[in-house]
Chains A and B, each alone.
Chain A
Amino acid sequence: MLFAVFIGAAALLPLVLDPRSHLLHVGALALLFAATAQAWNIVGGLANQVSLGHAAFFGIGAYTSTLLYLRLGISPWLGLPAGAVLAGVAAALLSLPTLRLRGHYFALATLAFAEVMRVIANSWTRLSGGPLGLSIPFVGSRPELFAFRSVSAYYWIILVLLVAVCAVFQLFAGRALGYQLRAVRENEDAAEVTGVDTFRVKLTASVVSAMLTGACGTVFAQFTYYFDPDSIFSLAGISVRIAMIAVVGGLGRLGGPIIGALLLIPLDEIANATLSGKAAGLSQLVFALILIAAILIQPRGILALWPERKSTRPEVVHGMTGTYRWAP
């Protein structure tokens, strides 16, 4: 319900704002990062496999659609599913060695994978265009080529993407697989012994998460017209940022990435705009301090300030246990 109200309000935003305003651009970016963080949330939040390498899938999506378009003239609308599939294949291959890892080891392995992708994109110049990056030529408004003049069009496409990713997240959370992912998150051995194929459920979550992240990467490339290996496979700019958005907002919950992105992306913009002229790195420092404060104040995310359901409140339970008796 709250979600529907939010989406409705977000959909109306371009109608009230100046379509060329910077605010709309930032809004679109925030929604795009909300969608990406929601994709991350499937594996990072539901299964607690904290990936610090989702930039790899984001970049694979961006590179696949853009290279298909630039080299073969294939519309990014077709490049989007192609990038998603490639990102899914990459996640499956990465999963074989890494899904047996837990906690920090998994995070480090995924981080290394994204770094490897960055190095490959920088050095395999013939395929990727190398460190110069790729530019998508401006062709005016060509909807069939995923090209629009107005920011509003991108904004609405990104909003649709966000709804789609959220729908997949909800589908996962509400199905048997969602139960099993949460069980894996909370006690992997107990999950196995009670019949959960922990490897299969983690693999499924990883692949779906990577595919959605790849799709977000394509949309990001179309929206920004330009990217290079260091920005698209960036540890701080993409991998850590989407993880932070989900963590600050509320891990494993539908609203988490949305709240997180709406808070962090504008904050990042404001910090950049007001502080970067004063001293090099000051904006990042302030941004980092705000993040640390958020985590210290509420480690389970901003959403944790509201209870999930009334029935899960402990005081209700205590009342129940008090009256409970063994029946003869």
Chain B
Amino acid sequence: MGPVALLAADAISVSFGGLKAVDGVSFELREGEIVGLIGPNGAGKTTLFNSFVGLQKLTAGGIFLEGRRISGLKPHRIAAAGMTKTFQHAALFPDMSVIENVTTAGVLRHKLPEARQRAAAILERLRIGALADAHVVSLTFAHKALVALARALATEPKVLLLDEVMAALTPPEMDGVMRVIRTLREDGLTFLIVEHHTRAIMALCERLLVMDFGCLIADGRPLEIAGDPRVITAYLGSAATADGIGHARN
């Protein structure tokens, strides 16, 4: 056996009444991995993310960060333990400036003046330092995505869950975000990414998890996944072919 997995989901389920949104999902993330989580709409990806960061209670199973059980903790405790997520549509604090958004997350670990300095450093690192005093409502989608990423980074996570951070970005903007993610991984950060852009997922991730109807139906390298008949069926119905996936999702 190798070392303890950084993040482990052990047979987790989430039910809404009779509907099982997540159904007995188990997998592990190792440190420094960039793993993609894909699946058709309604497969349970966002519910899974919400349960990881404590916004959604599990009905069964357990989630472990560095071997420590975190399921059942409140979201801020999970953030303190080292895992946070970005939201679909960024969910920034609209009435605050860019640097205030990021600083708010930084006070989790630092006093206010230092949190502000670190926030400025994170913005510089993401090459949006010039936007520090801008009001977030006036930002472009790409900049909002980067501010959301910066805010998540300010909590100094070990595992970062990105929920469609590249939605509505142009291809060059996407390349920029992907470059940022890769350099952060070199610093030891581990990523789990939900993304609808197949090109981004294929280029970025060395491993993919596929969900369908709440179940994990595949876990492997992107090229293996792309040829997996179950995955193709989930996306396109039984008559589809392997090279159809990319077209369907783009």
Complex CA distance for A8 and B103, rounded to whole angstroms: 35
- B45 touches A (CB below 8 Å): no
Given A187-B91, A312-B135, A321-B143, A194-B151 contact (CB < 8 Å): yes
A314 to B138 alpha-carbon distance, docked (Å): 6
Other-chain residue from A180, A182, A194 in contact with B79 (beta carbon distance below 8 A): A194
Beta-carbon contact of A182 and B173 below 8 Å: no
Given contacts A186-B93, A190-B87, A190-B93, contact A179 B104 (CB under 8 A): yes
Q: Is the CB of B95 within 8 A of A195?
A: no
- Find out whether the CB atom of B100 lies under 8 angstroms from the CB atom of A179: yes
What is the chain A residue whose CB lies nearest that of B102?
A: A194
How far in angstroms is the closest Cβ of chain B from A100? 12
Tell me, rounded to whole Å, the shortest Cβ–Cβ distance linking B92 to chain A: 8
- B interface size (C-beta, 8 A): 48
Residues of A within 8 A of B91 (CB): 187, 189-190
- Whether A193 lies near B84 (C-beta < 8 A) is yes
**A interface, by DSSP: helix, strand, loop or mixed?**
helix
Any chain B CB within 8 A of the CB of A175? yes
A198 CB within 8 Å of chain B: yes
Neighbouring B residues of A196 by C-beta, 8 Å: 76, 104, 108
A318 within 8 A of B: yes
What is the CA–CA distance of A190 and B152 in the complex, to the nearest angstrom? 10
Bound-state CA distance A187–B80 (Å) is 19
Across the interface, which residues of B come within 8 angstroms of A324, CB to CB? 128, 130-131, 143
- Residues on A with C-beta less than 8 A from B95 are 182, 185-186
B232 to chain A, nearest CB (A): 34
Which of A176, A192, A312 lies in contact with B107, CB distance below 8 A?
A: A176
B135:A317 contact, CB within 8 angstroms = yes
Asked if residues B151 and A192 are in contact (CB atoms below 8 Å), the reply is: no
Give B204 Cβ to nearest chain A Cβ, in Å.
16
Cβ contacts under 8 Å, A193 to chain B: 53-55, 75-76, 79, 84-85, 87
Please name the residue on chain B nearest to A320 by beta carbon: B130
Smallest distance from the beta carbon of B162 to chain A beta carbons, Å?
Answer: 13
A311 within 8 A of B: yes
Given A194-B108, A320-B131, 17 more pairs with CB closer than 8 A: A176-B107, A179-B103, A183-B104, A186-B94, A187-B93, A187-B94, A190-B91, A193-B55, A193-B75, A193-B84, A194-B84, A198-B76, A309-B133, A311-B97, A317-B135, A320-B130, A326-B175
Q: Enumerate chain B interface residues (CB-CB to A < 8 A).
A: 53-55, 74-76, 79-80, 84-85, 87, 91-97, 100, 103-105, 107-109, 111-112, 115, 127-128, 130-131, 133-135, 137-140, 143, 151-152, 154-155, 172-173, 175-176
Binding site for B on A (CB under 8 A): 175-176, 179-180, 182-183, 185-187, 189-198, 309, 311-314, 316-318, 320-321, 324, 326-327
